[in-house]
Amino acid sequence: MDKTITLIIPGAGDEAEARDATIQPGMTAAQLLQAAGKDPSRWQLQLKRGEGFVSLASQDNLFDQVQKGEKVFAVPKDMVVG
C-alpha cells in the first residue's frame, strides 16, 4: 500500500518546487531526501502540525507520519530564520 505525498523544496528567493513522491511502508525521511537528490546530513523534512512545524529525524518512518496527499517540506538543516 503506497501513499503519494507532495515534497516541497525551497528554491531561489520565494520560489519553491513541488514534487509528487510515492512512498512505501517503512520508508524513512532520509530515503525520501536521497530520492529527491538532497543530502540527509544537510537537509531535513518538516511536517505542518497545527500552527507550527515538526522536524523529522533521518531515521524516522515517514510512511507512518504522513497522510495520503500531505505536503512535506524539505529544509536545510543550517537554515537561519530572522
Gap between the Cα atoms of 70 and 54, Å rounded: 14
Instruction: Report the SS3 class of residue 30.
Output: helix
pLDDT for residue 79: 62
pTM score, two decimals? 0.88
Gap between the Cα atoms of 50 and 13, Å rounded: 25
- Give the domain ranges of the chain: 3-76
State which CATH number among 3.10.20.90, 4.10.520.10, 2.60.40.1840, 3.30.43.10 fits the domain covering 3-76: 3.10.20.90
> What is the residue-averaged pLDDT of the chain?
92
The residue written with cell numbers 520565494 in the block is 14
Residue 71: Cβ within 10 Å count: 13
User: If you count them, how many residues does the chain have?
Assistant: 82
- Tens digits of residue pLDDT in 51-79: 999 999 999 999 999 999 999 999 998 86
